[in-house]
């Protein structure tokens, strides 16, 4: 009996030690100093943290799942990802949110950011730890990197353009993953796998086919038909519009008092062109 009790006691101590070790490993994934810090700001930028929304300032940090950033019209922000992992440049009218920010037991750093709408460009250094990763999630899919410079654009519909300038990106949706190497781009439409990558264009050109005034039930409206690269963001008077997989749009807009429509096209890498359309 004494030998049995001794064996039972040693086994219990070993189990307690194992549980304590596992608990410490779990704590390591939670109790870490991870953050995104505002480095430069332009225009109206707000962030939400701990249930409070406030105006962003240089040096302020967000560091918890659910913390978010919102940029206004003609506004932008550049953020550093804690210990020099990389930088994120957030363009105007963009909503970005932290979905994961942790450290693995091996010391790897896992960063996951949601971009619900808008455009962002990322510069990420090569990771030395194989468990480290940075993922950008949008309503259409996920794009992951381990060291690269790339950009994403998210339309109001959730359609996502991905463009890689250096390194490589893996874009995934609907169980399909495609490699987007340097100087290539792809489009992800919600509910569909990523399209095969094409050579990078970074082209903010806007082709207008129809710009005319039409009467609808006694109300004057503007009919606007045309196209742009389907990976681009397209805004009319600061409001995001949806283009088809072919890049086409057919819109009806309220007649402006000054007879001008402001159209903005932004590529996934952040190249922007503003068009002042005069309504005839």
Q: Identify the pLDDT of residue 230.
A: 98
Q: Identify the pLDDT of residue 32.
A: 54
Q: What is the mean pLDDT of residues 130-150?
A: 93
Q: What is the mean pLDDT of residues 93-97?
A: 96
- Residue 251's closest CA among 267, 265, 240? 240
Say if residue 83's pLDDT is above 80.
no
Q: In which element (H, E) is residue 26 found?
A: helix 2-30
Return the percentage of the chain with pLDDT > 70, whole number: 88
Q: Identify the pLDDT of residue 204.
A: 98
- Provide φ and ψ at 11, rounded to 5°: -65, -40
Say if residue 161's pLDDT is above 60.
yes
Cα 216 to Cα 228: distance, rounded to the nearest angstrom? 27
């Amino acid at each position: 009996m004494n030998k049995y009790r001794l064996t039972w006691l040693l086994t219990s101590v070993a189990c307690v030690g194992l549980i304590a070790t596992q608990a410490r490993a779990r704590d390591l994934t939670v109790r870490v100093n991870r953050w995104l810090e505002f480095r430069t700001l332009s225009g109206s930028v707000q962030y939400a943290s701990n249930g409070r929304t406030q105006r962003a300032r240089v040096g302020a940090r967000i560091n918890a799942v659910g913390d978010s950033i919102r940029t206004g019209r003609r506004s932008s922000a550049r953020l550093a990802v804690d210990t020099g992992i990389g930088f994120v440049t957030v363009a105007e009218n963009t909503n970005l949110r932290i979905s994961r920010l942790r450290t693995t037991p091996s010391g790897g750093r896992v960063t996951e950011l949601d971009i619900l709408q808008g455009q962002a460009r990322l510069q990420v250094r090569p990771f030395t730890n194989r468990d480290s990763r940075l993922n950008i999630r949008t309503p259409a899919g996920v794009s992951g990197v381990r060291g690269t410079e790339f950009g994403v654009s998210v339309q109001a519909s959730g359609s996502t353009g991905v463009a890689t300038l250096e390194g490589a990106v893996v874009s995934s949706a609907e169980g399909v993953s495609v490699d987007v190497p340097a100087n290539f781009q792809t489009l992800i439409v919600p509910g569909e796998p990523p399209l095969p990558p094409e050579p990078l264009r970074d082209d903010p050109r806007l082709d207008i086919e129809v710009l005319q005034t039409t009467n609808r039930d006694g109300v004057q409206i503007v009919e606007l038909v045309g196209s742009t690269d389907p990976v681009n963001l397209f805004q009319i008077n600061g409001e995001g519009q949806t283009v088809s997989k072919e890049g086409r749009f057919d819109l009806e807009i309220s007649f402006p008092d000054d007879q001008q429509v402001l159209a903005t096209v932004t590529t996934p890498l952040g190249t922007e062109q503003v068009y002042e359309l005069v309504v005839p």
